[in-house]
Structure 1
C-alpha cells in the first residue's frame, strides 16, 4: 500500500479522530517541525497539517530528512519489521505527525514500537533546526483527537477522568497511577490532583512535564486511553481525556514587591530621582544657560540691532524712557561708586559686593545699567516675587522664573506629598517621594551654579597660555571671565522669609568661594551683615552705601529731567532758537528752597519733575508731595495701629507719634535717648526695628556698628512730620493718648509702691534697716503722683482743644 499524506485538517471524515482497523496501529513522531516557528512569524497558520508554501522549501520533512514514512521504511528494512505506513497526518502546531501503519499480525504493536525506538536511538535522526534533540516515536495507546482549533501546546496537561459509558462512574486516579502511565513519555515536574473538596466535575488532575515536547507526546499518545479495572479504572473502566492547560506562571517578583513596601518604595523613589537627575537636569541647565547668555533674545541679535539702528536714523522716533532722563547727573555724582564696583569685579577676592541704600536711591540702576553695562553674562535674581509668593508651588515657580529653570514640575510637590503620607501610613517609615521647599530651592540653585560654571569655562580656549592648568585654577586666575549674579531686594520683608534668604546666601557663598561667579547684593536693610555673615563668617564684605543726592545734584537732576522731552524736537521753522523748559520757565528759581524741603531721594525728585511738567510751580508741587506723604504716614503708621485693623503692626500709635513729634522738632534723635523714654521701656528696640523696616525711620550706625541715631525714613518725611504736628486736633488727640499711657504707667508704679509699703506695715517690728527702703518708696510714690497731676493738667488743655477745634 502506497503511503500518502492526509489532506484533511480535522481527522478522517472531519471527525477529529484517527481510526485504526485490525492489524493496524498509530504512531506519533515528534520533532518533525520546529515548535517555535509560529511564535517567530507571529501569525497563526491556516492549516495545522502542512507548512505554508513559502516554508515548504525549508522545513518539509522530505527535504530535512525526517519524513516519518521514510523512517518507517528504513527501519522495516534494517530491523526486519513487517510494517507499512499507510497514512501520515502532519501536526504542524505540535511539531510532529501521526502515522497509521499496518502489519501482518505476526508482530505485536509493542514490539513494533520498541524496534522503532531502538532504531531512532541508534541513528539519532535530527533536523537542522534542532541539532541537540533527536526525533522520538511512541505508540498511540488511546484514541487521538486531531483538532484544528487555535490551541497551542504547553508543558502542562489537564487529565480529566471520564466514565466509559453514560451513567457509569469514573474513578479518580491517584498520583502513583498517573505517574505510572505518563512517566514513560518524559520527566514530570509535578502532579497536582484536584482539591478534595472541589465540586467541579468531571474530576481532573494537572501534569507538569519538564519539557513541552514530552507533554505533546503524552497528550497525543494517551488521549482517550481506557483504564481497565485491572489498572485501577473501576468496574466499568475510566477514560482519560487530555487537553493542554495554560500554566499560570508564579508572580514571585510581583508578590515580593507588594509584600516589602518598606524596601521597594524608597528604592523606587531613588530610581525616579536618579532618572529625573539624568534626564531633566541637563535640560534645565541648558535653559538656564540660554537665559543667562540671552541666546533667544532678539534684542541682542546683531542683525536686529543693525536694522533697529538703521530705522532709528531714518525715522528718528526713538526716545529715551522717562526714568533715564536726568540720570547722567546722578551717575556723574556717583562715578566713584561705579568705578569701585567695576574694580572689585576684576579682583580675585572671594567675597560679596553689597550695595546698600534706602528704597528709591537708585541701587539697581547704578549696578545693572552702569557698573554692569558692558558685562556680557549677568543674571538678576529678584527676591521680592520669590518672597511674596504664597505657597510652596508658587515660591518654586517664582524662583525658577528668575533663573530660567525649566521644566518645573511644582505641581508634583503636592501630589508626591500625598503619596508620601499614604505610604508612610501604610509602612510606618518615610519613603522620600515628597520633597521640601528647601530641597526644591536647592535643586534650582545647584543647577544654576552648574550653568554659571559652564558659561565661565566656555570662554577658555586651548590656545591660551594657561590652558594646561585645571578648571578651578583657571577660574581663580581669571576673575574677569566669571559671570555676575545680582541679587536684588535682598532681605525684603526679612521677618517673613528666613528660609529663602538663608538658601540664597548659602548658594551665593558657594559661588564666590568656588570662583564660579561674582555676587552683588542690593538691599535696603541696614542689618544685612547679620544674615550674610552666617554664609561667609570669615570674610570682609565689599560694601557701598548709597545716600540721597546732594542739593546741587538733585537740582540738576530735576532740570535735566524737564529738558529731556524737547531734546529731539526739530528746530522752529521761523529760524528762532529752540527754547528748553529750564530757559523758558521763570519759576525754577524756587527749586533751591523746594529741594531743601523735599530732600535728595531719586523717586521723590522724579515725582517732583513730573508734577512740574504738568504745569505746577515747584513750590506747589513740593507742598502737594508733602501733603501726600503726611496722609500716607497718618494712614500707615498711626491710624489703625491699635491691632483692630492691622494686627501685623508691632508698634502703637503713641510710639509712632512720639517719634514723629520729636523728629519734627529735631532732624536727628539719639537712639538710646528714645529707648529710655517711658513709652519705649517695654520692647523698645524691636519697635524701632519694626518702624525702620516699615520705612518710617532709618537707624544710623555709629562706632563699632552699634545703632547711634534715628532719622526720618525719607528726607521728605521731615517736612511731612512738621506738617502733621501743625494739625492741632491731630496733635491734641495723639498727645492725649500719650498722656493716658503715661498715666497708666505711673499708676502701676504707685500700686507697686503701695503694695510693698502695705506689706512692710504688717510687720510687728520694723528694724532700722528698713527706713531707707521706706523713704525710697515714699519718694518714688510722690514723684509718680506729681507726674500724674502734671499729665492730668496738660490733658485738660488738650481736651479743651478737642472740644473747640474741628
Structure 2
C-alpha cells in the first residue's frame, strides 16, 4: 500500500513535468530531479497525524511510516509534516533520516481564557438539560440572536459561552474555573475533562480523577520496579523539583549527583519518554517544564502522598548513596598506588584533591542515610 501511495505521490509531483523545454537557443533536456528542485510548489504536502514514534501495540507501523516518509524526502517528491503530541517521535525519525535536520514548530497551550471558553461552549447544552432534569430552576438563556446583539458578536462559540454563564450560578462557575487551572490549555486534557463532566462527574471530581490517572501513568512509566533504578531516581528528582517550581533552569540540573555523568542524555531521555519538555536556545538546553500542565498537579499529588513518597524518596536516596559509593571506590583505587610512593610531597596536590572529593561524597552519603533513617520512622 505504501509503495502504491509513493508512486501516486510521485505522479502528482511530476504532473506538469516536461522532459524537454524549448528555449530561444533550442530544446533543453530537463531531468526530473532538476524540475523538482526548481519547483517545490509542485510537490504535494503529506501530513501524518498522531505520529507517536513508539508504541507497545503495533509499534512497527511507526517504523514503516517513518521509513516511507524518509523515502519521499530523499526522492524529493513531497513535503512531509508530522503532527505529534511529544518530541519522542524525533528519535524514530532520526533513525530513518540520520542526516536530515528537522524543522520543528512547537504549538503552545491555549490561554486560560480560551480554555475556559472552550469548556463552557462544550458544556452548554449538557448543563442546561441536566439542571432541567433535576427540577432545578434554570434561568432561561437569551436567544442566540439576542446574545449576539447584546455582545456585538455573532460567534457561535461566544454565544455558547454566554448561555453557559447564564445557566450556571457564580459558585458553579468558580468551581469550573478552579478545576481548569491545573489543566492549563492542553486540548486533549480539556476534552477529557468535558467528557467526564458530561458523564455525570462534578468538575472537582473530574479533575481529581484526571490527576490520579496521570499519577498512575507516571508511576508505571518512570517510577516502577521494572524501570532502571538510575532512570527512576532521575525522574523522581525532577518530579520533586518541578512540584515546587514550574520551571527549572537546565544549569541547576548539571551538578545534581545522578545527572553529573551525562546531564543532557538523562534529560533528553526523560523528554523523549514524555515526562518533561525542554526549551532550547540554538540547540542548547535551557529550561525544563512538565510535559503538560496536568503533570505538575500529578507531581504534587505524588509528593503529597506520604506512603508513596516515602517509598520513592527512599529508593532515590539509596541510588544516590550507591552512586557516591561508586565514586569513592574509584578514587580509593587511585590512592592505593600513590600511597606507596616514598616522597608523597610530589603528589600532594592530587592527594588533597582526591581527599576533598572523598570527604564531599562521604558528606552526601551521611546526609542521605540520615534522611533514610528519618523516613523509616
Normalised to the residue count of structure 2, the TM-score between the two structures is 0.73
Paired residue secondary structure (2:49): strand
Corresponding residue for 1:762? 340
Question: How far is 1:446 from its partner?
Answer: 4.0
The 2-side partners of 1:474 and 1:750 are apart by 61
Aligned runs of 1:742-761 on 2, under 5 Å?
Answer: 742-761=320-339
Q: 1:674 to 1:536 in 2, by over 3 A?
A: closer
Structure 1 residue 602: Cα displacement: 0.5
Q: 2:235 aligns with which of 652, 656, 668?
A: 656
Relative contact order: is structure 1 or structure 2 higher (C-alpha 8 Å, sep ≥ 6)?
2
Other-structure match for 1:508: 73
CA separation of 1:669 and 1:687: change in aligned 2, threshold 3 A: same
Matching residue within 436, 441, 449 for 2:9: 449
Q: How does 1:686-765 map to 2 (within 5 A)?
A: 686-701=265-280, 703-763=281-341, 765=342
> What is the distance in 2 between the residues matched to 1:545 and 1:627?
27
Change (3 A) 1:581 1:616: farther
Shift of 1:658: 1.0
- 1:785 is matched with 362
Which whole-Å CA distance do the structure 1 matches of 2:233 and 2:262 have between them? 14
Q: 2:166 aligns with which of 574, 578, 583?
A: 583
Task: Give the drift of 1:578.
Answer: 5.6
SS at match of 1:598: coil
Aligned to 1:546: 107
Q: In the aligned structure 1, how far is the partner of 2:277 from the partner of 2:192?
A: 22
Alpha carbon RMSD of aligned pairs, Å? Answer: 3.7
| Higher share of residues assigned helix | 2
Partners of 1:508 and 1:474 in 2: CA distance: 11
The change in CA–CA distance for 1:681 and 1:482 in structure 2 (over 3 A counts) is closer
Quick check: 1:651–1:690 contact (8 Å CA) kept in 2? no
| Alignment map for 1:216-231 (pairs within 5 Å) | none
1:679-706 Cα deviation digits (max 9, x unpaired): 12345433333322221111211x2122
Distance in 2, Cα, partners of 1:774 & 1:477: 67
State the shift of 1:661 in Å.
0.9
For residues 64 and 199 of structure 2, the distance between their equivalents in structure 1, rounded to whole angstroms, comes to 46
Number of matched residues? Answer: 326
Does structure 1 retain, via aligned residues, the 8 Å contact 2:44–2:79? yes
Match of 1:799 in 2: 376
Matches of residues 661-676 of structure 1 in structure 2 within 5 Å? 661-676=240-255
TM-score normalised to structure 1 length = 0.36
In structure 2, which of residues 189, 193, 214 is the aligned counterpart of residue 629 of structure 1?
Answer: 214
CA contact (8 A) 1:562 1:613 kept: yes
1:558 aligns with 2:139: no
Does the C-alpha gap of structure 1 residues 478 and 705 become closer, same or farther in structure 2, counting only changes over 3 Å?
Answer: closer
1:611 corresponds to 2:190: no
Q: What is the rounded CA distance, in whole Å, between the counterparts of 2:376 and 2:347 in structure 1?
A: 43
1:145-164 Cα shifts (integer Å, max 9, x gaps): xxxxxxxxxxxxxxxxxxxx
Match of 1:492 among 53, 58, 72: 53
| Partner-residue secondary structure (3-state), 2:352 | helix
> 1-side partners of 2:105 and 2:316: how far apart?
40
Match of 1:652, SS state, is helix
Larger C-alpha radius of gyration, 1 or 2? 1
Verify the 8 A CA contact 2:86 2:272 in the aligned structure 1.
Answer: yes
Q: Give the 3-state SS of the residue equivalent to 2:297 in structure 1.
A: helix
Counterpart in 2 of 1:522?
83
Shift of 1:524: 4.0
Over 3 Å counting, the alpha-carbon distance change for 1:534 and 1:601 in structure 2 is: same
Query: Could you say if the C-alpha distance between residues 544 and 758 of structure 1 is closer, same or farther in structure 2, counting changes exceeding 3 Å?
Result: closer
8 A contact 1:492–1:524 mirrored in 2: no
**Matches of 1:784 and 1:521, distance apart in 2:** 46
- Structure 1 residue runs of 5 or longer lacking an equivalent are 1-399, 401-440, 459-468, 569-575, 644-649, 801-806
SS in structure 1 of the partner of residue 226 of structure 2: coil
Mapped contact 2:126–2:198 kept (Cα < 8 A): no
Judging changes above 3 Å, is the alpha-carbon distance between structure 1 residues 523 and 617 closer, same or farther for their aligned structure 2 residues?
A: closer
